[in-house]
Structure 1
Amino acid sequence: MGIPLQSPRFRGRLHDPRTATVIGRLLGLAIVLCFLTGVMSHYLQEPPTWLSGHLPTRPTWGYRASQGLHVISGIAAIPLLLAKLWTVYPRLFVWPPVTSPAHAAERLSIAALVSATLLELFMGLLNTVQWYVWPFSFRQVHWALAWVIVGSLLVHLALKAPLIAKHWKRPASALPLVDPAKTAPGADVDDVDRRSLLRGVLVAVGAVTLFTAGQSVTPLKDIDLLAPRTPDIGPQGLPVNRTAKAAGVTADVLDGWKLHVDGPHPYSLTLEELKAMPQHRVELPIACVEGWSKSAHWEGVRIKDLLARAGLRDGARLRIVSLQRHGGYGVTEMDLPYTRDDLTLLALRLNGEVLAPDHGYPARIIAPNRPGALQTKWVSKLEVLA
């Protein structure tokens, strides 16, 4: 005889709708914050046609703040999601699995929401350590999954709205009538257990936040015990994502280097000729999509001055070409707001020293409010785009 299939059953309020609603509110806040900052990051890296030419260069630390919040909220969502799943997972195995069209829609939305969120957070966490164990594009799949999560979340909220509204506030009947510490053995202390669970979840969220946020929040850098990057560790006091060796930029590649500038009056400059041009010093952060960021002092020639010398005094959209042979972002584009900005440099020095090879020697881009992936290193050519 076959063993009858039974769904898990739990007693107590740790698995009731009130507990699920309370944790769900915190999880929803983290997901919304992560989604909105992710949209900002995506559009700064790949601006749509309607936004191209209007990207903001101020505040200069804007991308640092938004991407830091993106990674912080994504990491904080992990213990919240696990706690949420723990409170509701008995209902994930109800039998029969579908009882009506409305129930089927609810189950499908939950399946899409749970699977997409788990995959999204898992991929995002591995991205912070640059460990790509999948054969597809991280950015494209990460972007697509974000919209699947938002869509399925909206469907789920619409279907569960009456239940959520019912348990959004703590009912008066749930208030303890006596001091829980003085209750007799066997008394109902479910409300105490719920508060203990929530405290434990908040402690877990606080711990993973405090011990990872230091890679972008400078005051916390000394306790970023779980973060893959420490902002102060790296050549010239700045972390590196891709070294010159990994990018295939060797001494042979750099031999005879010149900067080629396109325009009405194209020209080329040696490194010594670049150094002879007016030099400018700015303080700008490098902020990478993996979540780490650090401000530094940069010196070099303004992009607007290089374009003016080519006959483009009002700036121009640029294609920036790197000498790198391996890895992404060897060719990037820069819109007018950046090329006209006084803070956008072709940097030759970092923190008072000549650029280290891993930081893009002999020249690299540094611009305000721009993703680190687009701060192109080992620049060899500036091409004007129509």
Structure 2
Amino acid sequence: MKLPEPPSEQSFPSPLHHPRVATVLGRWLGVAIAICFLTGLLSHFAQVTPGWLTIPTRPASLYRVTQGLHVLSGIVSVPLLLAKLWTVYPKLFAKLPWPPSKQALATALERASILVLVSALALELFIGFLNTLQWYPWPFPFKETHYALAWIIIGALLVHLAVKLPLISTHWRRTSADRTPIPQHPVDSLPPAITGLSRRGLFRTVAGAGTLVGIASIGQSVPAFGPVAVLAPRKPNIGPQGLPVNRTAKDAGVAAVNADWRFTVTGPSPLSYSLDQLRALPQNRSDLPIACVEGWSQGARWEGIRIRDLLRLCGAPEGSPLRVVSMEKGGFYATSELPPQFAEDPLTLLALRLNGSDLDLDHGFPARLIAPNRPGVFQTKWVHRLEVLR
């Protein structure tokens, strides 16, 4: 009995596997990856700031916008990546030229770059999505791995683009040949619903899928879409005092605050206050969002004492950085560093009240930090000490 011939690239005659289709979908995916990469860099540098970079405090909601875009572009990349892979998968059955030649080397390099690109991108999107759920079923650190994978993706993408540049250039613009309907190949085994899908129909389907998952998730950072945000792990206005909670007081090991609680500032002239004494100091208001790395954000009204006023009271030199110390028991963010530009910004508060009432314990009672354009993990809760570092 004669065995059937193995499939080849010619075994997939659908016009939806045409290089023009792959180029268009590649453009869309490339834009999504670029936005995700650039906003991800901003988020990483906001958390791990290199010495040559100064993070600005304004616009006050900048991190809210960029991190929302980061998560949104990552989610939208999923249907784009699946559509792109479906369009080009017949290339997997193309035979390498033989004997070895420059063309064979270029083809092998292309396939290797695609393997690295697809593997890294799939893993990046997978762990990124699980991060929005705050679920980490792996032994490696998320932040460092996520950052390293981003650079691997960009490197593999550049190699892939360099190899495919002639083909991309040929099909970048729509030609008269693309406007002419391509007759469907008679494949009796395929149902009409598949063989009848046009290129334009495929583009509309993919664009619709990307738009749908975007709308179903963006509600975690855009409250207007909250009611339809079925893919959003958090709704921005649900939680104590109308604000979500990532880490509760119980999770942080913080119990109810005793009457002998004191807030201290270590500096040239150390300060110590009870909660009532803090409330007696001049109070200020800041309308600032909480924006978390998981992509959700929510604006709120905060009231408390300006950090720069506390620095003046303790005689700290101008431009002093601070360490903010929480009552949290352990954890990566039990302390945070507050650079001088944030300490001096008039919007940065030691907040005592949220949305018109005293802080809920899960929101950091009796006092927490709130500052403009900072990741939520650095808006330290349950603050009991500020340390002037110089």
Q: 1:231 aligns with which of 232, 236, 258?
A: 236
Corresponding residue for residue 201 of structure 1 = 206
Mapped to 2, the partners of 1:267 and 1:178 lie a distance apart of: 79
Mapped to 2, the partners of 1:314 and 1:247 lie a distance apart of: 33
Mapped to 2, the partners of 1:292 and 1:71 lie a distance apart of: 9
Corresponding residue for residue 214 of structure 1 = 219
Change in 2 beyond 3 A, CA 1:84/1:365:
same
Q: 1:328 aligns with which of 323, 332, 335?
A: 332
The answer on whether the counterparts of 1:246 and 1:326 sit within 8 Å (CA) in structure 2 is no
Mapped to 1, the partners of 2:176 and 2:346 lie a distance apart of: 60
Paired-residue identity, %: 56
Corresponding residue for residue 26 of structure 1 = 28
Mapped to 1, the partners of 2:329 and 2:97 lie a distance apart of: 53
C-alpha displacement of 1:17: 1.0
Corresponding residue for residue 272 of structure 2 = 268
C-alpha RMSD of matched pairs (Å): 2.4
Mapped to 1, the partners of 2:97 and 2:89 lie a distance apart of: 13
The answer on whether the counterparts of 2:36 and 2:73 sit within 8 Å (CA) in structure 1 is yes
Q: Secondary structure at the match of 1:319?
A: strand
The answer on whether the counterparts of 1:174 and 1:191 sit within 8 Å (CA) in structure 2 is no
Please identify, of 323-332 and 119-128, the stretch whose mean Cα deviation from structure 2 is larger: 323-332
Please identify, of 169-178 and 10-19, the stretch whose mean Cα deviation from structure 2 is larger: 169-178
| Partner AA of 1:36 in structure 2 | L
C-alpha displacement of 1:338: 0.3
TM-score if structure 2 supplies the norm length? 0.91
Alignment of 1:96-245 (within 5 A): 96=96, 100-176=104-180, 193-245=198-250
The answer on whether the counterparts of 1:308 and 1:315 sit within 8 Å (CA) in structure 2 is no
The answer on whether the counterparts of 1:264 and 1:311 sit within 8 Å (CA) in structure 2 is yes
Mapped to 2, the partners of 1:31 and 1:257 lie a distance apart of: 48
Mapped to 2, the partners of 1:101 and 1:214 lie a distance apart of: 47
Corresponding residue for residue 185 of structure 1 = none
Please identify, of 90-99 and 28-37, the stretch whose mean Cα deviation from structure 2 is larger: 90-99
Give the aligned length.
376
* Structure 2 runs not aligned, ≥5 long: 185-193
C-alpha displacement of 1:90: 2.0
C-alpha displacement of 1:105: 1.8
TM-score if structure 1 supplies the norm length? 0.92
Change in 2 beyond 3 A, CA 1:77/1:178:
closer
Change in 2 beyond 3 A, CA 1:257/1:2:
farther
Mapped to 2, the partners of 1:191 and 1:166 lie a distance apart of: 26
Corresponding residue for residue 46 of structure 1 = 48
The answer on whether the counterparts of 1:14 and 1:190 sit within 8 Å (CA) in structure 2 is no
| Partner AA of 1:358 in structure 2 | D
Alignment of 1:282-361 (within 5 A): 282-312=286-316, 314-361=318-365
CA deviations on 1:206-255 (whole Å, 9 max, x unpaired) are 1001111011112212221211111110000000000000111113x756
C-alpha displacement of 1:270: 1.3
The answer on whether the counterparts of 2:223 and 2:237 sit within 8 Å (CA) in structure 1 is no
Mapped to 1, the partners of 2:317 and 2:41 lie a distance apart of: 33
| Partner AA of 1:41 in structure 2 | S
Q: Which runs of 4+ in 1 moved over 6 A?
A: 1-4, 177-180
| Partner AA of 1:196 in structure 2 | G
Mapped to 1, the partners of 2:375 and 2:94 lie a distance apart of: 46
C-alpha displacement of 1:192: 5.8
* Structure 1 runs not aligned, ≥5 long: 181-188
Change in 2 beyond 3 A, CA 1:29/1:361:
same
Change in 2 beyond 3 A, CA 1:78/1:248:
same
CA deviations on 1:190-211 (whole Å, 9 max, x unpaired) are 8961111111111100100111
Mapped to 2, the partners of 1:132 and 1:5 lie a distance apart of: 41
The answer on whether the counterparts of 2:15 and 2:182 sit within 8 Å (CA) in structure 1 is no
The answer on whether the counterparts of 1:13 and 1:190 sit within 8 Å (CA) in structure 2 is no
| Partner AA of 1:233 in structure 2 | I
| Partner AA of 2:147 in structure 1 | W
Corresponding residue for residue 183 of structure 1 = none
Mapped to 2, the partners of 1:329 and 1:72 lie a distance apart of: 25
Please identify, of 299-308 and 327-336, the stretch whose mean Cα deviation from structure 2 is larger: 327-336
The answer on whether the counterparts of 1:210 and 1:220 sit within 8 Å (CA) in structure 2 is yes
| Partner AA of 2:175 in structure 1 | P
Matched, 1:363 2:367: yes
CA deviations on 1:262-289 (whole Å, 9 max, x unpaired) are 1111122111111111110110000001
Mapped to 2, the partners of 1:108 and 1:177 lie a distance apart of: 34
| Partner AA of 1:18 in structure 2 | R
Change in 2 beyond 3 A, CA 1:289/1:176:
same
CA deviations on 1:64-123 (whole Å, 9 max, x unpaired) are 000011111110001000111111112134445995332222122111110000000011
